[in-house]
Structure 1
Amino acid sequence: MKNKENELEMFSFDAIKDEFIGEVGTVKRTLYEQELQMEILGDLIKKVRLERNMTQEELGKLIGVQRAQISKLENNTTNVTVETILRVFSALKAKVNFNVEILNSNIKIAG
């Protein structure tokens, strides 16, 4: 027989995020998700750079920035433009694809 006091209640990761960060669509949740994506992007840049046997300084020289800027990018401590991301991955000889998904939108383009 199970003892109710010893049973653990299970929660999904999404339910925990909803509770402590905010539901999908809220400003706080959107900022959290964007920051998480930028952290993943920084980790990816570092991983590819290391696979290419490049130092931060070498990568910086290829795209015209100081080593410190590459460090900040890899550690997600700076704002970065799409142009910079494209330059970094181009220097790393990596192909970049962007997937833009617009939910609940009625966008019309005049033709």
Structure 2
Amino acid sequence: MATKNKELEIFTFDQIKDEFIGEIGTERRVQYEQELQLEVMGEMIRKVRLERNLTQEELGRLIGVQRAQISKLENNTTNVTMETILKVFGALKAKVNFNVEIMNSKIQIA
């Protein structure tokens, strides 16, 4: 019995996202990227909070919200305002930087 040697085709992650989610700039791809960024931010909040040895309740008290709101932020289950994000990272003594990309131009706000 003879076997054929098939080459394994390799795809980049961007190629897979283009194929299954949509190309960069499409509404579905933009929504995916935004949700991913919020998920990453939630993980960052959780990681820094734990490094600072704070409970969700303690962090909530520092910024004037309930523990449930911190849980929602960490698990990306709520819409969040920039004010809340800045309060959270301020309470965690973490520096926040934003990058805004507009029409192929990159603007940094530090």
What TM-score, normalized by structure 2, do the two folds share?
0.88
Question: 1:64 — aligned with what?
Answer: 64
Amino acid at match of 2:21: I
Stretches of structure 1 lacking an aligned partner (at least 5 in a row): 106-111
Deviation, 1:103, is: 2.5
Question: 1:73 — aligned with what?
Answer: 73
Amino acid at match of 2:71: S
User: C-alpha root-mean-square deviation of aligned residues, in Å?
Assistant: 1.4
Deviation, 1:3, is: 3.3
Over 3 Å off, 4+ runs: none
Alpha-carbon separation, structure 1, partners of 2:4 and 2:42: 46
Deviation, 1:7, is: 1.9
Deviation, 1:96, is: 0.6
Alpha-carbon separation, structure 2, partners of 1:51 and 1:45: 10
What TM-score, normalized by structure 1, do the two folds share?
0.88
Question: 1:34 — aligned with what?
Answer: 34
Stretches of structure 2 lacking an aligned partner (at least 5 in a row): 106-110
Alpha-carbon separation, structure 1, partners of 2:104 and 2:9: 33
Identity of aligned residues (%): 77
More strand per residue: 1 or 2? 2
Aligned length: 103
* 1:45-98 deviations in Å (ceiling 9; x for gaps): 000000000000000011111000000100101111111100000011111111
